[in-house]
Amino acid sequence: MSKPKSVAIDYAASDRLVANPAPQWAIAHLKDMLQRKGVGVGPADQGWQVNIASADSDTSGVEVPAGAESFVLIRDENTVTAVGRDARGLVYALTELADRVSRSGDDPFEGAFPLVGTPKTRTRSIMRLFVNEKEDKAWFHDKSHWIDYLTMLATNRFNRFSLTLGIQYDYPYHDYMISDVYLHFPYPYLVNLPNYDIKVLELTEAERETNLEMLKFIGAEAAKRGLEFQLGLWTQRYDFDKAPGANYTIVGVTEDNLAPYVRDALSTLLKEVPEITGLTFRIHVEGGIAEGDYDFWRVAFDGIKSAGRPIEIDMHAKGLDESTLNVALETGMPVSASPKYLAEHIGLSYHPSVIREREYPPQHEVTNREKLSVGARRFLRQSYGDLLPKDKKWRVLFRVWPGTQRVLAWGDPELAAGYGRSASFCGADGIEWMEPLSMKGRQGSGTPGGRALYQDSRLTLRLDWQKYVYQYRLWGRLSYDPDADISDAGDYLADQCGDAADLVAAALAASSKILPLVTQTHGPSVANNIYWPEIYTNIAAIGDNHHRPFGFDMEGPLRFGNAPTFDSQMFANAREFIEGIVSGDPVRRYSPLDVADWLSAAADKVEIAAVKAKACADINLPSVQRLLIDAQVAAAIGRFFAGKQRSACWVELYLQTFSRTARLKAVDHLRSARAAWKQAVDLTKDLYDNDLTFGPGPHMRGAWVTRLADIDNELKDLNSYNERREAVLHGEDLKTEHLLENWQLAHRDHVALAGPATFKRDSEIKVSVPAPGAEKVRLHYRQVNQAERWKHVDMTVSGGKAEGAIPAEYTDSAFHLQYYVTLLKDNRVQVVPGFGPSLAEQPYAVMTQG
């Protein structure tokens, strides 16, 4: 087959859908991509033609799924037909063709046909954060950046882009630590309101106008591609008058004019940028407004009502209560609550079955300006809380925060599809990802050129997000359809990585499970500005007397084996695991040894792929090196945490028995962990910048090499630890040590539960599960409400089957139900349904109210 000289693009002039701005942009984009590949657009050469139609037109002749954003691509010889159910569906069809052209050889549209697309997730959003002037102003003012970036999002089937301002700091009250406040209280950097004498002293009028013009440009370019444009306004007041280091000063704000000013600024922004489709607000005190100040929000939201068009009011869920939801609902606008998916981190793709113990509301009443977020509504600090009742009046959008993996490339299709499936959990409306490098330079830690990341200039790309396109591709396309064929993602890597593509894909798929699993099972802090497992601030296994940032967010004692997991219903920490062994009542959860085994297995897969890749002709391509080295770094981190988890188990046994043998085994595992971290250091020390800044504190900046000394100190302390005279084990203690040495890992099969998919309120629900030879089978159940505790009932075992029931009185609630079963046999736990090998499964079952 020879490359065509030209391709005809044809559609009926009477097809109104095709004539819409977004499909017209996509047609122009397809033409541009053909021309870049040396193919003209004009009369069909050898029958090469693209026919474009709407699903309802007389000319399509193609059956398209009924849902919004659906499309179909079919092919007959050299003729391709693209049909969309609506404008956005047509955009996806045409950007798919343009994407194929960008990677094509002689056949410009090579790929799978027919291709049928229909979304499983209503909202698929990417959130880009402006957090410092030094690193972010350049991309904010760069029109070419926005053209390429928004095209990439549309191509990967995201349907919303969220530009987020005002998230530089956790509170607007800590005057002593505030420095870079550009766009933090956003309004006076964007609009000048004649009725208010509020302005930024150091900001010229010309620059303010440029900022507004850029906002208009971004909105127009997003709309042109069929993207919703969400504007995040996370801080609602200026309170930096006493901050000596602030680089900008705002004058004119008072307690009396703040709410009216915000109202009128919102109204002005919505008129100036008509493409804005929604606004996101941080409702709790970190946004500057005392929790429970409903009058402020009532006044401010009046500015949204004046827009004369639907504007989604999206409220970050921490500190959110029914009264604030009602204030928003009273506007008549669509309302969304956006809880964190897993604290401020990236974990496994299921929603955590429980929140940390520390996140339950305190017993005493809290009356200060944080009375909701640290008081009665504290359970919304980590996850979805009570926001998913059956008859909710608001939308729910899960927001995935970036604390876990900020720098290293990510690319696991299984977890990405798992997130896509979980985005609609119990009637939720979608998912929003904080993109890679989010929070870079936050809290005044920005450095000129800081987003370049690399010492090696060969690996630096023109635009910071270009390194992560494969990650965006998996997030977007597998949120659109978690069951989609992702061979096109492999085609993308083949174009970038040549003959190493398959091995790069295999390495990334394995490495990308590592840090999410680490985070899920080791959660010393909810906060992303405290906990960064990618470049980990070490917590010692024997106890840490050094200053650590985790102390305020973790119950003591501060040692690795005592750190909570982010899902204590499914995962035990080392202390809990060992206490269960010593007491003779093993925990009915996955153990740290299970976690270590998973981490080691993933690291093995990465290293096998990396060794094989050395024989590839394209191994030295910068695109290969960027991704493959990142996968190897993640594998080294995985081995480090595997060693830490194993060491912590022996340390916890040592603290119970003071067995010298237990301590020496802990030392051996810690040596392995240290060697793994040294491997990460060797891979990165001449590659990455040695001061990667995501905040001012030492725990939020630096690199892998800067953490090595703490690990060495831990090893030294553990090796010489002799706080008490060590014992020689005998009797029951020796038996316990032998049990740990030979502990059986949990069953790894994902098993279906025999229970109904739906239930009627106030009815008993019977559950059964195969249980041949099992002991102590237990049914665990809870409303889909994280303010509630799990309950359990022992099941009756007979004839290799276990049966139990959720009582009728418990089902009489506004919420759906989740449940699972645990079995014990020969000191081996099984969770049903549990995790399978991919770790992308939902380990519990869900029943929705019928």
Q: What is the pLDDT of residues 387-412, one digit of tens each?
A: 999 999 999 999 999 999 999 999 99
Q: Helix or strand or coil: residue 275?
A: coil
Distance separating alpha carbons of residues 436 and 406, to the nearest angstrom: 5
Q: How much is the pLDDT for 434?
A: 98
pTM over 0.85, yes/no: yes
Tell me the two tokens of residue 742.
Answer: 């030979």
Peptide bond into 194 cis (omega under 30): no
Band of residue 273 on the pLDDT scale cut at 50, 70, 90? very high
Burial of 309 (0-12, 13-18, 19+ CB in 10 A): exposed
Query: Looking at this protein, which amino acid is placed at residue 173?
Result: Y
Q: pLDDT digit string (tens) for 780-811? A: 999 999 999 999 999 999 998 999 999 999 99
> Domains along the chain?
6-117 (3.30.379.10), 123-441+453-485 (3.20.20), 509-741 (no CATH), 758-849 (2.60.40.10)
Burial of 382 (0-12, 13-18, 19+ CB in 10 A): buried
Contact 548, 558 (CB under 8 A): yes
Q: How much is the pLDDT for 545?
A: 64
Give the range among 172-176, 543-547, 776-780 with minimum mean pLDDT: 172-176
Q: How much is the pLDDT for 142?
A: 98
Please give the residue that has the higher pLDDT: either 816 or 491: 816
CA torsion, points 73, 74, 80, 86, in degrees to nearest 10?
-30
Distance separating alpha carbons of residues 650 and 657, to the nearest angstrom: 10
Beta bridge partners of 11: 52
Beta bridge partners of 704: none
Distance separating alpha carbons of residues 825 and 776, to the nearest angstrom: 8
Name the pairing type of β-strands 40-41 and 758-759.
unpaired
Q: Which of 15, 119, 124 is nearest to 67 (CA)?
A: 119
Q: How much is the pLDDT for 714?
A: 94
Q: How much is the pLDDT for 175?
A: 59
Distance separating alpha carbons of residues 688 and 703, to the nearest angstrom: 8
Band of residue 481 on the pLDDT scale cut at 50, 70, 90? very high
Q: Which of 313, 306, 321, 420 is nearest to 377 (CA)?
A: 321
Tell me the two tokens of residue 771.
Answer: 């249980």
Q: How much is the pLDDT for 172?
A: 64
Query: Which residues touch 118 (CB under 8 Å, ≥6 apart)?
Result: 65, 67, 69, 70, 481
Band of residue 514 on the pLDDT scale cut at 50, 70, 90? very high
Half-sphere exposure of residue 592: CA atoms within 13 angstroms, side-chain side = 30
Give the range among 141-150, 280-289, 512-521 with minimum mean pLDDT: 280-289
Distance separating alpha carbons of residues 328 and 305, to the nearest angstrom: 10
Band of residue 544 on the pLDDT scale cut at 50, 70, 90? confident
Compute CA distances 110 → 102, 104, 113, 493, 500, whole Å: 11, 7, 9, 15, 20
Q: H or E element: which one contains 281?
A: strand 276-282
Residue holding tokens 């402006």?
A: 130
Tell me the two tokens of residue 513.
Answer: 């499970």
Whether pLDDT at 650 is above 60: yes
Distance separating alpha carbons of residues 40 and 4, to the nearest angstrom: 8
Contact 353, 567 (CB under 8 A): yes
Q: What's the average model confidence in pLDDT over 195-209?
A: 96
Q: pLDDT digit string (tens) for 405-452? A: 999 999 999 999 999 999 999 999 999 999 999 999 999 999 999 999
Alpha-helix residue ranges (DSSP H) falling in 446-573: 469-480, 487-497, 501-511, 514-521
Q: pLDDT digit string (tens) for 692-709? A: 999 999 999 999 999 999
Mean pLDDT, the chain, whole residue set? 94
Q: pLDDT digit string (tens) for 362-384? A: 988 888 888 999 999 999 999 99
Q: 122-126, 556-560, 824-828 — which one is most confidently predicted on average?
A: 122-126
Q: pLDDT digit string (tens) for 652-662? A: 999 988 888 89
Band of residue 731 on the pLDDT scale cut at 50, 70, 90? low
Distance separating alpha carbons of residues 485 and 483, to the nearest angstrom: 7
Q: How much is the pLDDT for 754?
A: 81
Return the exposure string of 278-297: e unless at least 16 CB atoms fall within 10 Å of the residue's CB, then b: bbbbbbbbbbbbebbeeebb
Q: What's the average model confidence in pLDDT over 819-835?
A: 91
Distance separating alpha carbons of residues 668 and 679, to the nearest angstrom: 17
Tell me the two tokens of residue 844.
Answer: 């519990």
What is the 8-class DSSP label of residue 624? H
Distance separating alpha carbons of residues 164 and 170, to the nearest angstrom: 14
Q: How much is the pLDDT for 724?
A: 59
Give the range among 169-173, 311-315, 511-515 with minimum mean pLDDT: 169-173
Distance separating alpha carbons of residues 603 and 160, to the nearest angstrom: 35
Q: How much is the pLDDT for 716?
A: 92
Give the range among 275-289, 362-376, 580-594 with minimum mean pLDDT: 362-376
Please give the residue that has the higher pLDDT: either 543 or 232: 232
Band of residue 604 on the pLDDT scale cut at 50, 70, 90? very high
Q: Helix or strand or coil: residue 177?
A: helix
Return the exposure string of 442-451: e unless at least 16 CB atoms fall within 10 Å of the residue's CB, then b: bbbbbbeebb
Burial of 38 (0-12, 13-18, 19+ CB in 10 A): exposed
Alpha-helix residue ranges (DSSP H) falling in 389-444: 413-422
Compute CA distances 29 → 24, 216, 343, 573, 816, whole Å: 9, 21, 39, 52, 45
Q: What's the average model confidence in pLDDT over 53-66?
A: 83
Distance separating alpha carbons of residues 607 and 408, to the nearest angstrom: 16
Q: How much is the pLDDT for 730?
A: 61
Name the pairing type of β-strands 79-84 and 123-129.
unpaired
Q: pLDDT digit string (tens) for 739-754? A: 888 888 888 888 878 8
Give the range among 222-236, 252-266, 710-724 with minimum mean pLDDT: 710-724
Percent over 90 (pLDDT), the chain: 83
